[in-house]
Structure 1
Amino acid sequence: MPLITVSYTSSRQSPSLRAEIANAVSELTAKILHKDPKVTAIIVKSVEASDWFAGGKSLAEQKLASYWIDIHVTEGTNTKDEKAAYLAAMFKRMAEILGPLHPETYLHVDEVKGDAYGFGGLTQERRYIAGKLDVSLQAAGEPSHPRPDRQLAARN
């Protein structure tokens, strides 16, 4: 259930560019980091090349593309090798999409503690524990409702 923010700059202009980036990021995140695309959120933002500086010059001057990807995942869910493979694969794929990349192009895998991160009103830790105990999920503060299958079993 990662939250991924992609900021990019490129001379390539296309109405479908943001969707291409989001699709590539989603695909590689699923394939390499084993994250479910159904619960992956991706924000894609364009930055003017004249506003992006690397090595003391704007990328407009250098005629190069770049990106900054910040992905939040639950701590301990990926190995060092998976993260390294993800960075390498993303650099290759984004070069195919955006064009030649400046070497100072970054990706950050931000590992967040499961008790401090979640979606739909539930932390990842709560989801993990509920899965291990086979209990229904509810956000903190919501009233507890017995599971129908457990009510039936209790009657028998």
Structure 2
Amino acid sequence: MPHIALLLSGPADPLLTRRAVDTLAALTQATLGKQPQVIAVTVQYIPDDAWFVGGQSLATLGLHAFNLEISVTDETNTKAEKARFLREVHAAMAQMHGPLHEVSYVHVVDARAAAYGYGGKTQEHRHQQAGV
């Protein structure tokens, strides 16, 4: 775990994609303590003229934006860890994809262990099998 879904404004950019994936994986490992071998990332691009904030397109505003949703098993991270993750993701994205509109979202989804997993097994099952 976890899965990260990243939306970026603008045209597809393979170099930005690679940089974003590497940065997000590193931040997820460092701030949320997740294992790199189970961090999955998907990236999609939305044209600037199809992304609106406050009724104005990013193309009109001359800014970029992102939306990141990361699913983690509930109760595996503290509020402080999640707040740090939000801050560090926003700062990294501003550096990589600026100028960045402030209204760029990060959503840490706390998924229940019995309703979330990979490889056909829930995280609850993995926890019980580990004997923790």
TM-score > 0.5 by shorter chain: yes
Residue segments in structure 1 that go unaligned for 5+ positions in a row: 134-156
Correspondence 1:95-134 to 2 at 5 A: 95-132=94-131
Q: 2: CA distance between counterparts of 1:8 and 1:15?
A: 12
What is the Cα deviation at residue 10 of structure 1? 4.0
Match of 1:53 in 2: 52
Give aligned pairs, total: 132
Query: As a proportion of its length, which structure holds more strand?
Result: 2
What is the Cα deviation at residue 107 of structure 1? 0.5
Larger RCO (alpha carbons 8 Å, 6+ apart) = 2
Match of 1:93 in 2: 92
- Give the percent of matched residue pairs that are identical in Structure 1 and Structure 2: 38
Partner-residue secondary structure (3-state), 1:104: coil
Which has the higher Rg, Structure 1 or Structure 2? 1
Q: Is residue 69 of structure 1 aligned with residue 68 of structure 2?
A: yes
- Judge which range, 79-88 or 124-133, deviates more: 124-133
Query: Taking structure 1 as the reference length, what is the TM-score of the superposition?
Result: 0.81
Residue segments in structure 2 that go unaligned for 5+ positions in a row: none
Partner-residue secondary structure (3-state), 2:44: strand
What is the root-mean-square deviation in Å for CA atoms of aligned residues? Answer: 1.3
**Paired residues of 1:10 and 1:64 also in contact (CA < 8 A):** no
**Paired residues of 1:10 and 1:98 also in contact (CA < 8 A):** no
Q: 2: CA distance between counterparts of 1:103 and 1:91?
A: 9
Q: 2: CA distance between counterparts of 1:15 and 1:106?
A: 22
Which consecutive segments of 4 or more residues in structure 1 shift more than 3 A? Answer: none
Which residue identity does 1:84 align to in structure 2? Answer: A
Q: 2: CA distance between counterparts of 1:109 and 1:15?
A: 25
